[in-house]
């Protein structure tokens, strides 16, 4: 068994993933998109888990909380946005969530990490007033929660963009940045009033990558590590402090959907992949650290999928930015043999290394000339046939990494236009073309790869008229 990115099945769309170790399993809590939906997070919360010693073996725990369970959403018109879970001082598990841009934060509770959570209450002040109901309060959004070693509970939240309809619903809420507050042991009552720790862009004290959303908190070597999505919105960054409620210093970027900020690259129009929002958290198992995040599919920001990458530490106790790969939780490169679905590509761009943002106002331009991940049929559980659609002349899909032996060959599976070719290279600039496969009805044709034994990336570039769908490729040993 191997692990790929996305690490969940092709039919599953769980963004905003927060991984936590409870007992001998890793549990991932996220929101739940639907394929083909016109908005974010229309499905109920599900949970996935894996053994701590085998991050290749993910199991669906089923639906853990339904949006209609909240007394304020009996009709189900609100969507459950990014959640987080913590084990409280009483040993029970508390799930924190917000309904889209409603401007309040709910809490559900369960005796087990992935059982049926039940509504518990709203985060509120000591006088019983729900947080977000008073004019001038900070806007509740994207909870990140930590039960500290001493039993104290810290809640983080924040959003950078003013939300007019939330402001009109709940007076004049503020969006000054990432905030922190301490909760009472009951897990819902605010003990210390929310204060801004991470100002948004343009405010004094803002980091080089200013806070935007996606608050997440962990302990790293006894220190507090705050993870967030920045003003760029397609990266996850971190900051460190010796205390949970202040003194944070900027650490850097952990991961970026388009591998921007690696080697000084910043051009969104020529990123290594199509961009959109991302959200996730850190996972620690033994000496290993991982960053969980999500990617975009289906030419939108409303069908996002869970990915993860292993992190390297720096000498000062921080983290280096991870490269986006196809094999994040695999523990190393993928095997240099067997069939691989095109959906695990970590790099994707159109002719001229052109990409774009799926959440940009003019994203419809991406519909015509750009490739994208999609699937046949509608949203469903338990099956899927995801692929890369609309590969036109010069479109490229990249896969990292494979442990390839000398004498390995390759075949591809496509559908659509015939008469073109699929060029293969180990480098994104195609300075050396390893093979060129004619796209005919015969998918059994095998082309030898002129590669020395070792770990390699593989890039596939379509050359020809019209467009093809890229379904899969197979590596053949000893051809």
User: Phi and psi for 323 in degrees, rounded to 5?
Assistant: -85, 140
Q: What is the mean pLDDT of residues 84-100?
A: 98
Who's near 178: CB < 8 A, 6+ residues apart? 156, 157, 158, 196, 197, 198, 211, 215, 226, 228
Integer-rounded Cα radius of gyration of the chain: 23
Start-end of H helices in 229-340 = none
| 16 assigned to active site | yes
Closest alpha carbon to 260 in 232, 240, 239 = 232
Give a three-class secondary structure readout of 108-131: EEECCCCCCCEEEEECECCCCCEC
| 118 assigned to active site | no
Q: Range(s) for CATH 2.60.120.260 in the chain?
A: 335-476
Who's near 243: CB < 8 A, 6+ residues apart? 224
Who's near 444: CB < 8 A, 6+ residues apart? 411
> For residue 442, is pLDDT > 70?
no
Taking the C-alpha atoms of residue 334 and residue 309, their distance in angstroms, rounded to an integer, is: 14
Residue whose token pair is 């000084």: 264
pLDDT-derived band at 363 (thresholds 50, 70, 90) equals low
Give me the sign of the Cα torsion angle 272, 274, 279, 283. Answer: negative
Burial of 472 (0-12, 13-18, 19+ CB in 10 A): middle
Burial of 222 (0-12, 13-18, 19+ CB in 10 A): exposed
* Residue 33 near residue 99 (C-beta atoms within 8 A): no
18-332 CATH pick, 3.40.50.300, 1.10.287.130, 2.115.10.20, 3.40.50.2300: 2.115.10.20
Taking the C-alpha atoms of residue 361 and residue 368, their distance in angstroms, rounded to an integer, is: 15
Tokens standing for residue 412: 């591809």
Q: What is the mean pLDDT of residues 53-72?
A: 98
Bridging pattern class, strands 211-220 and 223-230: antiparallel
Q: What is the mean pLDDT of residues 243-249?
A: 98
* Residue 138 near residue 179 (C-beta atoms within 8 A): yes
Tokens standing for residue 375: 């699937």
Q: What share of the chain is helix, strand, coil (3-state, %, to 5)?
A: 5, 45, 50
> For residue 358, is pLDDT > 90?
no
pLDDT-derived band at 380 (thresholds 50, 70, 90) equals confident
Residue 417 has a pLDDT of 80
Catalytic residue among 33, 176, 213, 235: 213
CATH architecture entry for 335-476:
Sandwich (2.60)
Which residues sit opposite 350 in a β-bridge? Answer: 354
Catalytic residue among 12, 16, 84, 104: 16
Taking the C-alpha atoms of residue 216 and residue 281, their distance in angstroms, rounded to an integer, is: 6
Start-end of H helices in 157-257 = 164-169
Closest alpha carbon to 18 in 33, 32, 30 = 30
Taking the C-alpha atoms of residue 250 and residue 262, their distance in angstroms, rounded to an integer, is: 17
Residue 42 has a pLDDT of 96
Burial of 180 (0-12, 13-18, 19+ CB in 10 A): buried
Least confident of 35-49, 193-207, 388-402, 429-443: 429-443
Q: What confidence tens digit (pLDDT) does each residue in 387-441 have?
A: 999 999 999 999 999 999 999 999 999 999 888 999 999 999 999 999 999 998 6
Q: Higher model confidence: residue 361 or residue 208?
A: 208
Mean of pLDDT over the chain:
94
Q: Range(s) for CATH 2.115.10.20 in the chain?
A: 18-332
Bridging pattern class, strands 93-98 and 105-110: antiparallel
Would you call 81 helix, strand, or coil by DSSP?
Answer: coil
Q: What angle do CA 277, 282, 288 make, to 5 degrees?
A: 135
Closest alpha carbon to 470 in 462, 174, 118, 27 = 462
Least confident of 117-121, 152-156, 351-355: 351-355
Which residues sit opposite 238 in a β-bridge? Answer: 227, 252
Taking the C-alpha atoms of residue 255 and residue 375, their distance in angstroms, rounded to an integer, is: 26
This prediction's pTM: 0.97
> For residue 164, is pLDDT > 90?
no
Who's near 162: CB < 8 A, 6+ residues apart? 175
| First vs last C-alpha separation in the chain | 24
Closest alpha carbon to 49 in 85, 77, 22 = 22
* Residue 274 near residue 370 (C-beta atoms within 8 A): yes
Query: What's the number of CA atoms in the CB half-sphere (13 Å) around residue 333?
Result: 15
* Residue 228 near residue 293 (C-beta atoms within 8 A): no
- Ranked by mean pLDDT, which of 101-105, 234-238, 267-271 comes out on top? 234-238
pLDDT-derived band at 368 (thresholds 50, 70, 90) equals confident
Residue 382 has a pLDDT of 74
pLDDT-derived band at 166 (thresholds 50, 70, 90) equals low
Closest alpha carbon to 134 in 191, 183, 194 = 194
Residue 168 has a pLDDT of 45
């Amino acid at each position: 068994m191997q692990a790929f990115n996305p690490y969940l099945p092709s039919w599953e769309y769980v963004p905003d993933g927060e991984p936590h170790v409870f007992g001998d399993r890793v549990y991932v809590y996220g929101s739940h998109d639907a394929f083909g939906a016109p908005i974010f997070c229309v499905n109920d919360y599900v949970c996935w888990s894996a053994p701590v010693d085998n991050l290749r073996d993910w199991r669906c725990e089923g639906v853990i909380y339904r949006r209609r369970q909240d007394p304020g959403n009996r009709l189900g018109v609100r969507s459950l946005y990014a959640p987080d879970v913590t084990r409280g001082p009483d040993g029970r598990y508390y799930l924190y969530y917000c309904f889209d841009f409603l401007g309040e934060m709910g809490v559900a509770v369960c005796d087990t990490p992935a059982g049926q959570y039940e509504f518990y209450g709203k985060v509120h002040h000591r006088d019983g007033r729900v947080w977000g109901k008073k004019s001038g309060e900070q806007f509740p959004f994207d909870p990140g929660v930590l039960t500290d070693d001493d039993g104290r509970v810290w809640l983080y939240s924040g959003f950078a963009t003013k939300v007019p309809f939330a402001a009109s619903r709940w007076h004049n809420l503020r969006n000054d940045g990432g905030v922190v507050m301490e909760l009472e042991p009951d897990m819902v009552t605010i003990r210390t009033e929310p204060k801004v720790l991470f100002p948004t862009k343009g405010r004094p004290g803002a980091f080089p990558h200013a806070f935007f959303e996606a608050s997440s908190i962990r302990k790293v070597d006894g220190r507090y590590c705050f993870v967030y999505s920045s003003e760029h919105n397609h990266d996850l960054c971190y900051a460190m402090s010796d205390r949970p409620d202040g003194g944070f210093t900027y650490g850097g970027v952990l991961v970026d959907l388009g591998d921007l900020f690696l080697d000084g690259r910043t051009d969104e129009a020529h990123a290594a992949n199509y961009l959109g929002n991302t959200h996730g958290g850190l996972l620690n198992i033994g000496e290993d650290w991982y960053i969980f995040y999500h990617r975009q599919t289906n030419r939108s920001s409303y069908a996002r999928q869970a990915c993860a990458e292993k992190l390297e530490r720096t000498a000062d106790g921080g983290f280096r930015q991870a490269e986006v790969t196809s094999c994040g939780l695999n523990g190393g490169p993928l095997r240099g043999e067997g069939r691989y679905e095109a959906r695990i590509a970590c790099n994707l761009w159109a002719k001229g290394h052109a990409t774009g943002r799926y959440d940009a106002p003019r994203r419809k331009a991406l519909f015509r000339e750009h490739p994208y991940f999609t699937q046949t049929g509608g949203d469903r559980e338990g099956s899927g046939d995801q692929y890369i659609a609309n590969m036109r002349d010069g479109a490229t899909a990249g896969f990292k990494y494979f442990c390839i032996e000398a004498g390995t060959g390759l075949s591809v599976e496509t559908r659509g236009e015939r008469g073109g070719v699929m060029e293969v290279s180990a480098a994104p600039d195609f300075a050396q073309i390893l093979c060129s496969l004619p796209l005919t009805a015969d998918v059994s044709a095998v082309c030898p790869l002129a590669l020395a034994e070792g770990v390699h990336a593989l890039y596939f570039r379509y050359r020809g008229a019209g467009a093809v769908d890229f379904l899969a490729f197979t590596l053949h040993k000893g051809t």
